[in-house]
Amino acid sequence: MHTYSKTDPILWTGRKSGQQLYLHEKVICVDLNSEQVPITNGRSWAILGYACDEGVKRNEGRIGAALGPDAIRKQLAKLPNHLRENTLVLDTGTVDCQDGDLKKTQTVLSRTVTQLLQQNAFPILLGGGHDIAYGHYNGIKRYLATEGINKSVGIINFDAHFDLRSNQTNNNSGTPFYQIAQECKLDQSKFRYMCLGIREDANNSSLYGTAKDLGVSYVDKTNFNLLHFNTIKDKIAQFAKEVDYIYTTIDLDGFSSAYAPGVSAASPMGFSPEIVLECLKIIIASKKMISFDIAEMNPTYDIDHQTAKLAASLIHFVIHQSQ
């Protein structure tokens, strides 16, 4: 059974000010089955959960990411609100996968992303496995097609893994960008994909070969740090020039487990938050980011909510930096 559900407002609790000094006091929970996204003359941020770890299970990862969206919500709720009064922060519910049918769950997610974009809301998706990317991207693509917008979409992925595994056996959390690449071939569009933080110990030689064949741009973990930021900045800026929109996705397992122990595939060899924040500034400054997600939050293995707090702080940074 596939379900979409409105978020229980009790998840959004924290210190009370009575003056909307905290995000839990500003957020509005919306049921997309029966309500329209509120209209504002400012910006609307629409949080949407993807409670699914079926793709992680198929990819032989540690399950538990289905609990990720609510874990992030609880930590985001406590953070301070510095947004303009006419900026809306909406919680637009969660798409669940309760019967192992990943394809249908991704279809529901895709349609919901399209719906949010059509209602002039900026989607912020909370995962869930990185198979979130396939449904998310197709939701953007469907929106552009529905609106008759002939524009290109580039993907920037912060990740240790290419996630370019073949889906010949099944779709999973390691196949989303391969699936997107194959569909780009079918509709004769260019596959535009940049991956930041790639680790040699997390990708076999076949995946590097696939990345080369597909023209994937990437920065390996050895060079993904502030010492090499000028080079990284130039690569991101050039990528942004070549596309009309940017879909940004962050896989939390790309971070060192010192920062993000609560993920499906943890490693101490990952990158740090500082380089990601600096890169996000460049992406946001391009004014081309159309949608954003965070994947692989797994509270089953988190320590003192550290990973959930990292995810919440990344979202907090994106919405405030974008004002």
Ligand-binding annotation for 53, yes or no, is no
Amino acid at 129: G
CA angle 5, 313, 130 (to 5 degrees): 55
Tell me: is residue 2 an annotated ligand-binding position: no
CA pair distance 123, 92, nearest whole angstrom: 9
Strands 153-158 and 193-198, bridge-based pairing: parallel
d(CA 40, CA 92) in angstroms, rounded, equals 16
96 in a labelled binding site:
no
Residue 159 marked as a ligand binder = yes
Q: Which residue is listed with tokens 């000094």?
A: 21
Residue 201 annotated as lining a ligand binding site: no
Q: Could you tell me if 170 and 58 are in contact, meaning their C-beta atoms sit under 8 angstroms apart?
A: yes
> What is the C-alpha separation between 94 and 223, in angstroms, rounded?
36
Strand partners, 123: 46
Tell me: is residue 161 an annotated ligand-binding position: yes
Q: Which residues are annotated as a binding site?
A: 130, 159, 161, 163, 251, 253
Q: Which residues are annotated as a binding site for Mn(2+)?
A: 130, 159, 161, 163, 251, 253
